[in-house]
Structure 1
Amino acid sequence: MTEILLFHHALGQTPGFLEFADRWRGAGHTVHTPDLYEGATFESVEEGVAHAEGIGFGEIIRRGTAAAASLPERIVYAGVSLGVLPAQSLAQRRPGARGALLLESAVPPESFGGPWPAGVPAQLHAMADDELAEVPVMREVAGQIDAAELFLYPGGGHLFTDRGTKAYDEAATTLLLRRTLDFLDRVG
């Protein structure tokens, strides 16, 4: 099975985020979920983003890089929303990535120093009308990766995979899980 380094969203390591990780674990994958917030969790995206801004996005990426240091290079990097920052940074900069799962966000590859690395597949997932996910940027990123799949789900909810949020969508989450598990089977 595949080893995954999954980074949390702006709300922190919420029970819904951890439950989502457990669904990948339940399929037999090893999932590491480092806490980039050192125990803090938030009720709203606005509060979580304000906390992340206080830490600094560069520090969030540094903490993610530090979390990867003791792990093998041949892993999949995954992130949900804010967690895409360290996940994508690692997928682009750390040699040996098996792939990337970018959920509800993406950053232009040049933000991390250049084109997406050849041979590193990616899946991107978001709700089609989610303004926070910046779907146009996600489309652009997917277009720059040879082995990319972009999946857009009906609706506009942000953090739709976290059961504890108002945006939670079981049908979309179930489909996302099926698609990501297929991806993990292919790259593992």
Structure 2
Amino acid sequence: MTDIILFHHVQGLTPGVRAFADRLRAAGHWVATPDLFDGKTFATLEEGVAHVEGIGFDAVVQRGVDAASELPERVVYAGFSLGAMPAQRLAQTRPGALAVLLYHGAVPADTYGDSWPPDVAIQAHVNDEDDWGDLDVMRSLVEQAPDAELFTYRGSTHLFTDSGLDVYDAAATGLVVERSLALLARRA
């Protein structure tokens, strides 16, 4: 069993994010899903982005960092799109990180440090034509880590792993979960 903290995307802690976390829990993992938006959810990416711009991206990332403060050190950090930012920051800066699971987004490694910590595994998942997904950034990240995997899926939709959204892709999400569980088994 692995301890995981899973950060939601810009549309909030949706039922689809909760359902994804439940799939990890069903495999025996403990998963925290902090709500960085105090219960607010948004129907579109654009509405969610406007909300984050009102709060400030740095403030949202700090909320994620604060949510992890009570967790043990040996944790896997995970995040969907916007949620990849606090997950990545914690994986790069908090001692004891086991791995990071980046779903639909990432930021350059130098955003949170000089380089990627060599003992922290990366697994990244994104659609190959997702304009929001930062595929080039993900490629750069996996080149920097000794234990890194990048999985691309065919399509242009963002957040395809959220079962509550119209863009949900059940088959691709099944692969994402399977591959995530494989990493968790290796890094536990």
Q: Same fold (TM over 0.5)?
A: yes
**Residue in 1 that maps onto 2:85:** 85
**Residue in 1 that maps onto 2:179:** 179
Q: What amino acid does structure 2 have at the position aligned with 1:48?
A: G
Instruction: Render the CA deviation track for 1:73-99: whole Å, top value 9, x for unaligned.
Output: 100000000000100000000010011
Q: What's the offset of the Cα at 1:51?
A: 0.6
Q: What's the offset of the Cα at 1:141?
A: 1.4
- Point out 4+ residue stretches in structure 1 off by more than 3 angstroms: none
In the superposition, the TM-score normalised over structure 1's length comes to: 0.98
SS at match of 2:101: strand
Q: What's the offset of the Cα at 1:165?
A: 1.2
In the superposition, the TM-score normalised over structure 2's length comes to: 0.98
SS at match of 2:4: strand
Q: Distance in 2 between matches of 1:143 and 1:166?
A: 33
Query: Between the two proteins, what is the percent identity of the paired residues?
Result: 54
Unmatched runs of 5 consecutive residues or more in structure 1: none
Q: What's the offset of the Cα at 1:125?
A: 0.3
1:150 matches 2:150? yes
**Residue in 1 that maps onto 2:169:** 169
SS at match of 2:72: coil
**Residue in 1 that maps onto 2:76:** 76
**Residue in 1 that maps onto 2:12:** 12
SS at match of 1:35: coil
SS at match of 1:77: strand
Unmatched runs of 5 consecutive residues or more in structure 2: none
Q: What amino acid does structure 2 have at the position aligned with 1:125?
A: H
Which stretch shows the higher mean deviation, 111-120 or 174-183? 111-120
Q: What's the offset of the Cα at 1:57?
A: 0.8
Q: Distance in 2 between matches of 1:78 and 1:151?
A: 15
